[in-house]
Every structure is written in structure tokens, then in C-alpha cells.
Structure 1
Amino acid sequence: MALFIRDDEVDALASELQRATNAATKKEAVRRALKNELARMRAVPPGNDKLARAMALADAMGDSDPAFDMKKFTDEMWGDL
């Protein structure tokens, strides 16, 4: 199936990318750009995976201390500032 794009900006971007990458044709430049973008997107884990990793790290730290006084800790950390 063919892909036809009639947009001056897209044409200019494809030409610029062709020159920057020394691609033989605009088609080759666009092919590389699309493959690179798909690879970049696939390398980033979905939000659910990120959340699952964060939850696993929080679980690994254990339960919080209900007796911990955050105000006292912060005051001591900042000192006389």
C-alpha cells in the first residue's frame, strides 16, 4: 500500500533529514526516521511497568515507622536556618 503525503512542511523535513543522514532518497530517510522512532518508543516501558517497579522499590523498603516525627527531623536537618 502506498503512502502519499502532500504537505510542504513534511516534504521540507524529509529533505532536511535526507541531507543530514546522507540517505539516498527521501523515502529512505523517512523509513529510517520511522524505524528509529518506533525503536525509541518500544525502549520506554509503559506507565504500568514504571509504576510496578516503583511499587516494588517501595515494598522493598518495608513499612514506614508510624512514630517517626517528620517535623522534628526536618527542623533538625535545617538547623538554625
Structure 2
Amino acid sequence: MTLMPLYIKDDATADLVARLAKLRGLTKQDAVRLAVQAELDRAREAIPLRERVAALRAAHPLPPQTGETADKEFFDDLSGEL
């Protein structure tokens, strides 16, 4: 993949990037990366939790139920009856 350079032609935007870079002690490139990543994270978190959990469960489904019950004997067996 060939990457193209990013040119900021808008003076106000270039000033914002420079101010963020100076504030954080970063290069302008790192300031842009930081700002874009923060916005992507914010956008991802804007998805309702119910939808994020549903996507997670779809990607990683639970194993089928065995029909067995998790009673005291089951937990005692797990702990070695300590």
C-alpha cells in the first residue's frame, strides 16, 4: 500500500495541530495521529453497549449448554473439596 502525504491547507487546522503538538510535546504528525485516534475511539464508544456486546457475542459465541447443573458438588469438585 502506497501512502500519500497529508497536506493541511487550512491555516486554522494547521494552527490547531501545532498547538496540540506543542502542548503535548509531540511532532505535528504524532499530534494528528493522537487526535484522529481519540476521535475514532470516541466514535466507537458512541455505539450503544448493547450493540457492542451483541457483536462480541456473535464473534465469540458461548459453548452449547450441557444440561448439567452447577450445584455444591460441582463446585466442590472444582476446588478439590478444600
TM-score after normalising by structure 2? 0.50
Pick aligned residue for 2:24 from 9, 21, 28: 21
| Structure 2: distance between partners of 1:13 and 1:29 | 10
Match of 1:44 in 2: 46
Aligned runs of 1:1-81 on 2, under 5 Å?
1-23=4-26, 25-45=27-47
Give the gaps of 5 or more residues in structure 2.
Answer: 52-82
The residue type equivalent to 1:26 in the other structure is: K
Question: Taking every aligned residue pair, what percent have the same amino acid on both sides?
Answer: 39
What displacement does 1:40 show? 0.8
Listed one character per residue, the Cα deviations across residues 36-81 of structure 1 (whole Å, up to 9, x for unaligned) are 11011101116xx5xxxxxxxxxxxxxxxxxxxxxxxxxxxxxxxx
What displacement does 1:4 show? 1.3
The residue type equivalent to 1:45 in the other structure is: I
* Cα RMSD after superposing both structures: 1.4
| Structure 2: distance between partners of 1:2 and 1:18 | 18
| Structure 2: distance between partners of 1:26 and 1:35 | 14
Following TM superposition, the consecutive aligned residue runs of length 4 or more in structure 1 with deviations greater than 4 angstroms are none
Aligned length: 46
What displacement does 1:3 show? 1.6
TM-score after normalising by structure 1? 0.51
